[in-house]
Amino acid sequence: MRDVLSHAEDVQFFCCRFAIVELFKHKDKLLRYSGLSEAEMLEAFQSVLRRLSFYDELAISTSSVRKAYGLCAEIDEKDTPFVALTIELNGLLWSGDRKLSDGLHTKGFESFYVP
């Protein structure tokens, strides 16, 4: 992720503020799988966060949220803000969540960013 963010200078990345909570919520799991020390992980977080523009979930229109919820409800409704932001900005969703991307594909959602 950090490599993509640092090399995709012509791409602007937006993210819901909720993502910060998710990063720290799953910090221990990320540490285990990455093999990084906690200091290295925090440095990586800082590097990634510096490259993102954060968007307040409350500023996303009700119609985008409803459409996203309709897409995400049967897959994982916690992903609704991220899909809603993609819809709101007419952007591309970047997700490593295979269950989410497969589920969205089956519902006709094709707005994905593939580095």
Supply the DSSP string of 47-74, one letter for each residue: HHHHHEEEE-GGGS-HHHHHHHHHHHTT
Supply the DSSP string of 8-27, one letter for each residue: -TT--EEEETHHHHHHHHTH
Contact 110, 98 (CB under 8 A): no
Q: How confident is the model at residue 44 (pLDDT cuts 50, 70, 90)?
A: confident
Contact 83, 68 (CB under 8 A): yes
Task: Give every CB contact of residue 73 below 8 A, 6+ residues apart in sequence.
Answer: 80
pLDDT value of residue 9: 66
pTM of the model: 0.81
CA angle centred on 54, ends 50 and 57, rounded to 5°: 160
Answer yes or no: is pLDDT of 87 > 60.
yes
Report the alpha-carbon distance of residue 93 to residue 77 in Å, rounded. Answer: 15
Contact 115, 8 (CB under 8 A): yes
Q: How confident is the model at residue 4 (pLDDT cuts 50, 70, 90)?
A: low
pLDDT value of residue 21: 86
